[in-house]
Structure 1
Amino acid sequence: MIRCVRIWTGADGNSRFEEGSIALLRGERGDILGDKLGATSISYRETSSGGAFAPHDAPVRQFVLTLSGTLEFRCADGATFLIYPGDVLLAEDTTGSGHSWRLVDDQPWRRAYIILGANTDAGFVKH
């Protein structure tokens, strides 16, 4: 199972989140696989340990794959969740109050941003 946290904009304009996973529906050579997804680009970024970012919206609908660093994300209502190395964030809160984040361990946040195609099913499964 690949842990995924989905964050989106609720009807009240505030970001909300839910935990789940990425659908892995079929197998091959002892692996379980997800479907291939339409993406338009991938980029990488690194933030030094101790970093934080004020409330903001996701610029586009995207996956954020955390390679290193542990983060606390916060929504405007005070709700929080943690992202660990190996987790996927499905950022869909492209409008509204947004979310903030801060690194909570001594590692840099290394991540990959994968911009999803306009009609791509992200394969998120709520738990």
Structure 2
Amino acid sequence: MMTTDFAETPTFLKAIRLININNDDCSFETGKIPAQQNINANYFFAKTDVSSLENIPHPAPRRQFVITIKGKLKFTVTNGDTFILEPGVVLIANDTKGAGHTWEVIEGDVWERIYIPLGNDADDYFIKD
């Protein structure tokens, strides 16, 4: 039987944004981004390696969205606050200065993710909680 009912589409996606505050310290804020928003990006790339930066403080190399496909991680910012990143949560890496953040895989041994670098003046459409 054919039906014309459509699955409900969420209006927003849960997001966490890494930011620079006070003297380039790294912090984060929780919020959301619109689900149907076009993002100003020219390319994306995937990565699975976890050995290169795990548990090593670093800033984001550029403003970018990080979409986790597989893995559960704990991120730590400058003051020691932490958050959990897992599939279904969009990370907006916007802490491009200072010591940055650390992360570690807390379930399994893999982090599959897609990076979507943002254009220099592109809006990240983040709405803070």
Does the pair score TM above 0.5?
yes
Q: Give, in angstroms, the shift of residue 112 of structure 1.
A: 0.3
Instruction: Give the residue type in structure 1 aligned to 2:15.
Output: C
Deviations 1:15-38 (A, max 9, x none): 0100011124xxxxxxxx2x2111
TM-score (norm 1): 0.85
Q: Secondary structure at the match of 1:55?
A: coil
Which has the greater radius of gyration?
2
**Gaps in structure 2 of 5+ consecutive residues:** 1-11
Match for residue 37 of structure 1?
Answer: 39
Aligned length: 117
Residue of structure 2 equivalent to 1:22: 33
Aligned to 1:11: 22
Match runs of 1:1-127 below 5 Å: 1-24=12-35, 33=36, 35-47=37-49, 52-127=54-129
Which 4+ stretches in 1 moved above 2 angstroms? Answer: none
RMSD over equivalenced CA pairs, Å: 1.7
Displacement of 1:52 in angstroms is: 2.2
- Choose between structure 1 and 2: higher strand proportion: 1
Query: Structure 1: where are the runs of 5+ without partners?
Result: 25-32
